[in-house]
């Protein structure tokens, strides 16, 4: 005959299992929401790209082959020297890199003394982008280095206006990336959507827009879906990334990408969404495929 103590222990065990089951059910529902798409073919509503730098230890040609297998149409952030290679695999570059040893994230358009050299640098980059049949060329604000935000907008606009008519003529859009200055890019000036939108208004051309990096803007300001809805006319391109850590965009992080991608589609966006997370798992291409399928709403 069971003792009172053994019956009490049995009740506790059942209760603990029930609570664990509830927690597991909650986790499973979110995991399954991410993984449900893994059995589906790409729906074709989202145009998928991938950032080459996240797979730097994989030869670019192998990444192109993987892109074809997954259904990715573009390789982001490649330079003109790689255009022939990606085109050989029927791919585009939805966002062309403009980085060099001298120009990039920390040194950009927010300094008047840079403008002349930047114009000289960007003209051939615009030419190469246009000649390849691509349409978006990335650019950056540069770091503040004591410059206040309003002056930064005015300086960037002044410089960009010196080249924007050339970009318009070549049918190339200069796209400034929104980056976080809290974790990854200390002192970067274009670190809030509102700042970037004000710059777009100051430049006043459809050939200048923003790259809305979801990872970076989640860190800086959150409120991702509402921000996308309210500012979609200024956004040319999207990047993904898991928060925190910039790794896989699955159940291991805080953002729910299917809802974000649906919000992007609901704005009428016709551009590309590029995976820009750094894979943590050993099978990097499996993580890439998973990310694409999660975003393929």
Taking the C-alpha atoms of 117, 119, 122 and 128 in order, what is their torsion angle to the nearest 10 degrees? -120
For the chain, domain boundaries: 1-39, 42-295
Q: What does the pLDDT read at residue 85?
A: 98
Q: What does the pLDDT read at residue 9?
A: 56
Query: CATH number of the domain at 42-295, out of 3.20.20.150, 3.40.50.300, 3.90.660.20, 3.30.70.260?
Result: 3.20.20.150
pTM of the entire structure? 0.87
* CA–CA distance, 290 with 155 (Å, rounded to integer): 41
What is the C-alpha radius of gyration for the chain, rounded to an integer number of angstroms?
22
Q: What does the pLDDT read at residue 13?
A: 52
* CA–CA distance, 129 with 131 (Å, rounded to integer): 6
Q: What does the pLDDT read at residue 231?
A: 98
Distances in Å between the alpha carbon of 83 and those of 47, 97, 211? 19, 11, 21
Q: What does the pLDDT read at residue 223?
A: 98
Can you list the residues of the chain whose pLDDT is less than 50? Answer: 1-4, 7, 11, 14-20, 22-39
* CA–CA distance, 23 with 19 (Å, rounded to integer): 6
**Span 28-78, pLDDT tens digits:** 434 444 444 444 589 999 999 999 999 999 999 999 999 999 999 999 999
Tokens describing residue 26: 């909650």
Q: What are residue 37's phi and psi, to 5 degrees?
A: -70, -15
Instruction: Give CA 58 to chain center in angstroms.
Output: 20
Q: What does the pLDDT read at residue 41?
A: 85
């Amino acid at each position: 005959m069971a003792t009172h103590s053994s019956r009490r222990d049995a009740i506790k065990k059942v209760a603990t299992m029930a609570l664990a089951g509830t927690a597991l059910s909650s986790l499973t529902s979110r995991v399954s929401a991410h993984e449900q798409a893994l059995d589906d073919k790409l729906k074709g509503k989202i145009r998928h790209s991938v950032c080459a730098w996240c797979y730097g230890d994989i030869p670019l040609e192998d990444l192109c082959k993987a892109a074809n297998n997954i259904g990715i149409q573009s390789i982001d952030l490649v330079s003109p020297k790689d255009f022939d290679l990606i085109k050989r695999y029927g791919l585009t570059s939805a966002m062309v890199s403009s980085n060099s040893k001298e120009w990039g994230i920390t040194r950009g358009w927010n300094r008047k003394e840079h403008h002349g050299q930047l114009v000289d640098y960007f003209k051939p980059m615009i030419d190469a982008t246009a000649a390849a049949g691509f349409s978006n060329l990335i650019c950056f604000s540069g770091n503040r280095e004591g410059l206040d935000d309003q002056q930064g907008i005015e300086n960037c606009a002044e410089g960009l206006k010196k080249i924007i008519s050339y970009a318009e003529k070549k049918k190339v859009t200069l796209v400034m990336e929104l980056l976080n200055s809290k974790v990854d890019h200390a002192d970067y000036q274009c670190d809030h959507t509102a700042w970037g939108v004000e710059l777009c208004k100051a430049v006043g051309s459809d050939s200048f827009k923003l790259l809305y990096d979801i990872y970076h803007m989640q860190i800086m300001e959150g409120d991702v879906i509402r921000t996308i809805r309210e500012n979609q006319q200024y956004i040319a391109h999207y990047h993904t990334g898991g928060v925190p850590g910039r790794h896989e965009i699955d159940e291991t992080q805080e953002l729910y990408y299917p809802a974000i991608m649906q919000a992007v589609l609901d704005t009428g966006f016709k551009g590309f969404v590029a995976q820009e997370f750094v894979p943590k798992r050993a099978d990097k291409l499996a993580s890439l495929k998973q990310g694409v399928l999660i975003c393929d709403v």
